[in-house]
Structure formats: structure tokens, C-alpha cells
A and B are shown apart, each in its own frame.
Chain A
Amino acid sequence: MDWSAVPGYVRDNAYLGIVPALIGLVISVPLGIACVRWRWLYPPVLSVTSMLYAVPSLALFIVLIPYTGLTDTTVIIPLALFSLCVLVPNVVDGLRSVPDPVRQAATAMGFGTLRRLVRVELPVAVPIVIAGLRVAVVSSISLASIGQLIGVYSLGYLIVDGYQRDFLEEILVGGGLIIALALVCDLVLVLIRRLLTPWQPRRSKRELLPVVVTAPAQARELSRSAG
């Protein structure tokens, strides 16, 4: 098979995976802060994000085609919306995980609301937020390949081309590179978390797993709201 184009597909796929997760992060931090500040806001926000998450990516790409054309944007917007489903609950859980004495100590030291948020609460929330970001990046990288069906290039090209030519090796290379790319990005995020939170003890191999894997927090919240 022709390897010369492969680095380009890897780059496209990385772009289509990382950018949506970052956009999701930029949206979910203020949204999460608002949900902690005004508790009534959280259940409706969760309902909307989980409903959006339920829509198959291929269908969302197609809804956007008349507006954004066959461009990267058509793939990036739905993947960013999906990432909110993991990022918003993790930002909220992260902020709620700040122990009360820590918050009170910050206030006693003369920190105002904003300075306390930026200097104390958000740093404490970092591990849980990054756990969500890891899930968002890994999912986006693997979902980006579906964009190939509408002609947005990624490693999905190797899968589609391999299928059309009945060429098993190409499919395996495409799928394998997607998984490898996801794992590399996941590891980079673990390293970033270590750099950002040097005070955290370096624990066992369990550290390599995202802290929050499923959405039990979300389930609790939903059961509270839906009763």
C-alpha cells in the first residue's frame, strides 16, 4: 500500500479529534461554573447535553452540510457538542470536589470570588476535568473517521478505500492508527495533568485510567431531578 499519504491522514485525524475537545472545554468550563453557582441550571443543561449525545454523529454531520458545507467545521461542531456530555459533568464534579475548609481558608486569606475560583477551585478541579477531557479526545478521534463518509478526510480514508478495494491490510492500518493516535493523545493528557498538579501523589498504574469512566455522577443528578 501507499504510505506517503498516511502522515497527512494522521494529522487530519488528530486535528479533527483534538479541536472539538478543546472547543468543548472552552464552553464547558464557564457552563460548569454557572451550573455550580446556580444549581437549578444543572439538570436542564444535563438533559440537553445527553440528548445531543444520543444523536448519531453521521446524522448530525448531514444536518450541518447546508450551512457549513463539506468542510472540517461540519465534523468539528457535532464532536464538540458530544464532548459537552462528558466535560460539563466533570467540570461540575471537579468544582464540587473542592473541600469546604479549603474554600473557607481561601476566603479567610482575603480571596474574592473570582480570585478564589481561578487560584483555588479550578486548580483543585483539574484532575477530574482532565479525566473528562481524555474521554472526549479519545471518542472524538475515533468518531472523526466517520466524517470520511461525507468526504472529510481523516484516517477513515484508509478504512473506506480499503473496503472499496477489498484490501484488508489498508483497513487494519487505518483502524490501528486511529487506536494508536487515541492512546498517544490520552498519554499526553496524563502528562499534562501531572505537570499541572504537581501536588498530587504519583500513585499506582490506576493513575493511567480516567478517574471518571462512566457517568454515575450524571445518573445521580438525573435521578435527583427526574425523581
Chain B
Amino acid sequence: MSFFSYAWDWIKQPQQWHGAESIPVRIVEQLGYTALALLLAAVIAIPLGILIGHSGRGGLAVVNVANAWRAIPTLGLLVLLAITLKNFTVAWLVPLVVLGIPPILVNAYEGVAGVDPELKDAARGMGMTPWQQIRKVEVPAATPLIVLGLRTGAIFVVATATIAAYIGLGGLGRYIIDGLATNNYGEVAGGALFVVLLALAVQLVFIGVRRLLVPAGLRKQARAS
């Protein structure tokens, strides 16, 4: 039997679609955790990245953090916090936010630091205050990379949220962990299928967001080059 037939046999059972542990509820849970964690990560990382990129100081530290972060084992971090904090709410939220921050931070930094120096000079020459330079020139020019950072951050948050079922979090990962524990491959496959679909849907949302947010002038320039 293929993965899809296992998944389908499980998905088509009516009990998966009603009640507190049904697929729709799990999808909403997973989207909720992902959105909350990504929002917190963005609120911390985007202003910090823009500030570091604008000042030009601390760039090496940002790059170092982003490198070291790839080595952190997600499962280890989740389990470590679950055991030391005992309080589940914080135990899942902290690793989700922590693993989401580095890609957002480093891309916001690279985006602002990489703005064409002539553009920056022109903004200063026009008499813009530093705040105006950031708001009117540097941030719009850095938008493609800022959105890319959010997109990459979302990948890590979705993946971590799935694994967080192992320490008791709800969401689609529940089906995978519970199914593995009870040797019910149908449930595991059904959960995995929805995780894949959700991850791809989140990516499509970010491709859409990029189209909406990237300034028109930048788009024209990108097409010309």
C-alpha cells in the first residue's frame, strides 16, 4: 500500500472530521501556534535587523548567530525546555520563537545593509533624518529580503510546531506522535499529509505577500535587470 492510500483510509473516516480532536481543529491549532510564534519572532527580529543594518555595527555577530543556530537540534531544545520549565505553554513557545528569529534577523540585516550606497547618499543629500532614511528608503528597498526572512522563519516554525507534539503540544503533529506511539500508520500518514499541505500553503501565502509588499519601483527594476 502506498503512503496516500494509508492516509486516505484514515482521512475518510467520519470521526476525523468531528469533535475536539478532528482535523479542522488541529489545522486551526497549528496555524495559531505558527502565527503567534512567527509574529513574536518578527516583532523582535525585524526592528533589530533593520537597526543593525542601518548602523552597520554588530553585523558579524548577527551572521555568527545565524550560523550557530543551524546546529541547534530542535528536538533537544524542545525536550530540554519541557523538562526544565514544566510549564508547557512557555516550553513550546520559546523554541518556536527562538528558532524563527535567526533567519528573519539575518535577512532584515542583509537587506538593509545591502541597500545601494548611492541610494543612501541620495536620501541623506535630500536632507532626510535618519528615521526618514530608514522608513522611506532602506526598509522599502529591503522588503524582498525581509519577506524572504519571514518565509524561511515560517518554515522553521511550522516544522518545530509539528515536532512539539512530542512534548504535548496540539496541532497536526499530534496525529503523527500519537499514531507512532500506537503503531497506527494510517493516522501517522494522514497527519503527515496535512502537515505537508499546510507547509506548502504557508509558502504560497508568503509568495503572495511578497507580491503585495514589494514596492512597485523595485519590481520594475528587478524585471529590467
Which residues on A are within 8 Å of B, measured CB to CB? 50-51, 53-60, 62-67, 135, 138-139, 141-143, 145-146, 148-150, 155-156, 159-160, 162-163, 166, 168, 171-172, 174-175, 178-179, 182-183, 206, 209-210, 213-216, 218-220, 222-224, 226-227
Q: Are A168 and B200 in contact (CB under 8 A)?
A: no
Using Cβ atoms and an 8 Å threshold, which residues of chain B touch A160? 75, 79
How far in angstroms is the closest Cβ of chain B from A16?
12
Q: Nearest residue in B to A134 (C-beta to C-beta)?
A: B67
Using Cβ atoms and an 8 Å threshold, which residues of chain B touch A56? 158-159, 162-163, 195-196, 199
Contact with A along B88-118 (1 / 0, CB 8 A): 0000000000000001001100100010000
Using Cβ atoms and an 8 Å threshold, which residues of chain A touch B64? 209
Using Cβ atoms and an 8 Å threshold, which residues of chain B touch A174? 73, 76
Q: Nearest residue in A to B188 (C-beta to C-beta)?
A: A62
Q: Are B6 and A66 in contact (CB under 8 A)?
A: yes
How far in angstroms is the closest Cβ of chain A from B188?
5
Task: Count residues of B near A (Cβ-Cβ below 8 Å).
Answer: 64
Q: Are B73 and A227 in contact (CB under 8 A)?
A: no
How far in angstroms is the closest Cβ of chain A from B111?
8
Q: Are B76 and A178 in contact (CB under 8 A)?
A: yes
Interface centre among A64, A143, A148, A215 (most CB of B within 10 A): A215
Using Cβ atoms and an 8 Å threshold, which residues of chain B touch A227? 219, 222-223
Known A156-B75, A214-B106: A149·B195 in contact at CB below 8 Å: no
Known A66-B6, A209-B63: A55·B200 in contact at CB below 8 Å: yes
Q: Are A149 and B177 in contact (CB under 8 A)?
A: yes
Does any Cβ of A come within 8 Å of B11's Cβ? no
Q: Are A62 and B114 in contact (CB under 8 A)?
A: no
A146 to B165, CA, bound (A): 13
A67 to B144, CA, bound (A): 39
Using Cβ atoms and an 8 Å threshold, which residues of chain A touch B155? 53-54
A-B pairs, top 10 by smallest CB distance, nearest first, are A175-B76, A56-B159, A62-B192, A182-B71, A59-B195, A59-B192, A163-B79, A223-B222, A178-B73, A219-B148
How far in angstroms is the closest Cβ of chain A from B1?
6
A215 to B148, CA, bound (A): 9
Q: Are A219 and B76 in contact (CB under 8 A)?
A: no
A151 to B219, CA, bound (A): 47
Q: Are B107 and A223 in contact (CB under 8 A)?
A: no
Contact with A along B142-183 (1 / 0, CB 8 A): 001100110010010011001100110000010011001000
Using Cβ atoms and an 8 Å threshold, which residues of chain B touch A55? 195-196, 199-200
